Structure formats: C-alpha cells, structure tokens
Structure 1
Amino acid sequence: MEKILSEMKHPVHNIQTDLGKEFYNSEFKKLMDKFKINHYSTFSTMKASVVERVNRTMKNLMWKQFSLRGNYKWTDILQDIVTQYNNTTHTTLGLPPNKINQRNAKKILQTVYSHLKTLDLRRPKYKVGDYVRVSKHRELFSKGYTPNWSNEIFSIRKVQYTNPTTYLLKDQNNQE
C-alpha cells in the first residue's frame, strides 16, 4: 500500500474501507498518518457488490482447478487464474480487462455507468438549502420501533441531475 501511495501522481485525501482488521490496525493508521489521508468507514454491513462478484468468479475458477487437480493448493494456480480472469471478456465491459487502456477507458466508463449519467429532468423533490435526514440502512432483524432516519440533520449543498436524482449534503459544521 505504501508503494502504491508513494507512486501516485495525485495525492489521496480520503480512503473509505470496510471494518476489516487489515485496515483497522496500528500499522495501517501510521501509514494513513504518514500520507495525511483521512481513513474512514461507513460502519455498515452493506458489502461491496462488485468486489464480492469478483471474489465469486475467482473462487469458481479456483474450485474448477481443485477438482481437476485433486487438491486444494491455490498458491500454484492463483497467477494462472488471475491471468485467465483478466483475459476473459466481461459482459459488463464488453471486452477483457487487459484490453482496457487510456484510449478506451473513458468510453467504457460511460457505457458501464451510463445509467447514472442519464439526466432526470423532472423537478427534484428537494432544492439547495433544504434540510434533510439520511435514511438508515436496516438490518434484516432490526427492531421495528427504531427510527429509519439519522438523528443528524443535513442541508442540501448541490442537486445532481442523475437518474435517480442525487444530492450532495453538508452537515451543521459545513462539512460535506
């Protein structure tokens, strides 16, 4: 991680991670302090679906090899599996990850995330300056009597005309 951060062209100001011990330990904290990076988590049990999907695909490829070889030694096959994954056409991308480069990256991003860029020209429900609360993520067995909304009140800083309409918020201390 230190090598990656030191080689980046632009400094990183914020990093959001899950609550894993690989991110919440004294060594990682020292690294974040060294690079003056604000490290935070959303303290949510919601998972990163894209990462979970990659993990599932990698495990499927590994288990096929385990069955073929008759053992579970993954260190011998990991590089081949990563190579196979990176050279296989991905449905969402329309090409293998190894074929993405500076010339086509922008077009691929526009295609993959086009649903977020579609303008929603309807009048937004809220406007800049309105005060709102944020919906809480509910666990499967959450108590029905607990509030569904944050205690903290935010104000809308900017309306983003995406589909659906999204809002940039700031708290009572004017922090985004």
Structure 2
Amino acid sequence: MDELRKLFYTPGAPTGATSLPKLLKKEGVDLSMKTVKDFLTSESSHQIHRKKKRLNLNVAITQAPFDVWESDWLSLGHDVHLKSNKGCAHILICVDKFSKMVWAVPVKTVDETSITLAMREIIHDNLSRYGMRPNKLLTDAGGAYKSAKWKKLMDEYNISHSIVYMAYEAERSVKTVKSAIGHVLTQRGDKKWIDVLDDLVKMINKREHRGLQMSPNEAIQHPLAALKNLEQYWSKIKQPEPTVYKVGTHVRTRVDKATFTKGHWGTFSNEVYKITHVFPPADDYHSHRYALEGIRSRVFTYNDIMETKDPVTIVQKKKKPLDRLQKQARKELREMEVTAPLPTRLRSEKTRPNVKGIRPKES
C-alpha cells in the first residue's frame, strides 16, 4: 500500500484504477483491482478530478403531440448584422418534445415584451394550423420567463409553465438552428439570415428523426405510429444503473462546466453532502433520484453524484452583496448615529465615569 500511495502522489503519475496496477506490476508490486479502487475512493483529489462517464439513465417521455413543449432563445452574437436582419440579433426557439417539431421567431431583444410577443405568435400559428396549443411548457430560469407578462400569457391559454434546470430538447434545437444558419452564412458569404429562417425551419421539420423513424411533420399526422417507434427507441437506449445509493451515503456533486472552462478545474465538488432521501424510478424509462442535505433546489441522478468516504462538509452560504440603494441607506444610518444628539438621561450616563468596585457617595 505504501508503494501505491507513493506512486499516486508522484507528479504526472496515472490516477486511474486500471493504469495504476499495471505500472505497479512493472515495478514488482502486485495489487488487486479492489485494493486500488478502495484506495482511490479515499483520496479526495482523485474524486474531485475524476472523469465519470454519463449514462443514458433517463428518457423524456411524452405520449402525444402538443403535450409538452420546451422553449429557449439563441443569440447569434458576432454572426449577426443588425441592419441586414431588421435589427434582430436573437431567435426564440420552441420544440414539441413528442414530435420534435421546431418553431423559430426572430426578436430584437430578449426582454419580457419581445419574448412574450414571439411566444404569442407561435401559439397563434399552431392554433390556426392545428387547432392545438401545448398543455405544458418547460423553460430555464431566464428573466423573461418569470415576468408578469409571460405569466399572463400562460394563464390566458391555460398553459402550465415550469422552470427546469436544463431544457435538453430546446438546447438541442438551438444548436441545430444555429448550425444551419452558420452553413447559410458561409455559403452566401454575407450576414443576412432572417430571409431564410422560415425555409430553414421547414426543412428541419422535414428531416427524419432517429427515434421517431419519421419526420416531425409525419409524427404529428401519425402520432400512434410515432409513439410505437419512440417506445422501441427508448427501451433500446435506456441503460441500467450500475448501483443504487442508500440514505446516509456521502457524495460529491458534479460541477457544471461551461464550454471554455479551464481543464484543470475539478469535475466534482470539494463539498461533501449526505443523501437524505431516495426517490424510486417513476417508470421503466427513468432512474432513481436523490435529495441531498443542504440543497433544496434540485434532485440528482447517478450521473450527477459520486460516492466518497470523506466526512460531510458544512457549506457556508455566501452573503448576497448589497445593491446601491442598500449601501446608501446603510451609509445614511451611520451618519445619523454620529450626528443625532442623545437624550439627556443617556448623555449624562454616557459621560459618567464607569469605575468598577467604587460605589457613588451618598449625599
């Protein structure tokens, strides 16, 4: 074990459960895989930087078109020329989770007014073409989706709106639309995309989807056949859970990294949490979910956590910084404390010497 520990802490040495025993064997030390894994489980640095493969444990289940939608917006950034695109720099994207049908509306800004008007346009278009609107709409926690105007629109059409941690279908559609726009801009050699957006979305909705085995347009026309194909696809891609954690298990949580996050940053958190509740799978297409002590905003799956033997850490909540008005109010209160005169009784008490052990003389 001493040889294993020495090798592990050698700069540049391998840290995997497969490569470590091989290197030790070349040096004449024969250790079992279980011994190496137990050692790595007790090492915090290995757990924090370990690459844990994501398994396909949960499948998004919907039974019919227009049951659940997802929405997100894409910003074109440097690929946009405002004058050529009627001042629009963003596109609101909606996708039907069952049929994978995509809708896209260009907007100038992503404020509550623009996003709400664009969503109203998409709903009106579907009511006129199909006579249907979504029962449920999933979005991220963007500010426009929390506004009073957005809530009024949802209430007007009796749509149940939910904020989720990540809208996977919408984000996938955002990538598809953005990639298609990039191809058009490269082919044409200019920055104008708004005139081809409708044709581009129509072509996306004509493509055959791997899970549906038909296009989104055909899935809306033949929902029963599409559902049968989806169930076969879901059963094929669903992977079994390697293990089910128990209540009381200590775990680290996966760190959500952005695209350009530095590679030397850890994959899992420095903080250690305790599992407080285990939720059973809702159906054959979903996995167990775990609630962690100290985190109330979400639940986790096997992909999001890693078991550890380290003790639970106390997570200090960061104090929210004061805004400009709060800072000004605090400053004014301090000034009032300095300049405001004390009442007569308090002034006399304040100036009276406070000497312990000496009683005032009685007159």
For residue 144 of structure 2, give the secondary structure of its aligned residue in structure 1.
coil
- The question of whether the paired residues in 1 share the 8 Å contact of 2:238 and 2:285 is answered with yes
Counterpart selection for 1:66 from 185, 189, 197: 185
- The question of whether the paired residues in 1 share the 8 Å contact of 2:138 and 2:161 is answered with yes
**Larger of the two Rg values belongs to structure:** 2
Structure in which a larger fraction of residues adopt helix: 2
Alignment of structure 1 residues 1-176 onto 2, 5 Å: 1=119, 3=123, 12=135, 15-32=137-154, 39-42=161-164, 44=165, 47-100=166-219, 101-115=222-236, 125=244, 136-140=253-257, 144-149=269-274, 153-154=276-277, 156=279, 158-160=280-282, 162=284, 165-166=287-288
Q: Deviations over 1:69-106 (max 9, x none)?
A: 23222221011111111112233433322221224121
One-letter amino acid matched to 1:68: Q
Higher relative contact order structure (alpha carbons within 8 Å, sequence separation ≥ 6): 2
For residue 99 of structure 1, give the secondary structure of its aligned residue in structure 2.
helix
- The question of whether the paired residues in 2 share the 8 Å contact of 1:159 and 1:168 is answered with no
Q: Deviations over 1:28-73 (max 9, x none)?
A: 133445677664434x4xx433333322222222122222323222
- The question of whether the paired residues in 1 share the 8 Å contact of 2:252 and 2:269 is answered with no
| CA 106–91 in structure 1, closer or farther in 2 if over 3 Å, else same | closer
| CA 66–99 in structure 1, closer or farther in 2 if over 3 Å, else same | same
For residue 193 of structure 2, give the secondary structure of its aligned residue in structure 1.
coil
Q: Distance in 2 between the 1:26 and 1:52 partners?
A: 24
TM-score, length basis structure 1: 0.59
CA RMSD of aligned residues (A): 4.3
One-letter amino acid matched to 2:203: Q
For residue 104 of structure 1, give the secondary structure of its aligned residue in structure 2.
helix
Identity rate of aligned residues, in percent? Answer: 25
Q: Which runs of 5+ in 1 are unaligned?
A: 170-176
| CA 149–72 in structure 1, closer or farther in 2 if over 3 Å, else same | farther
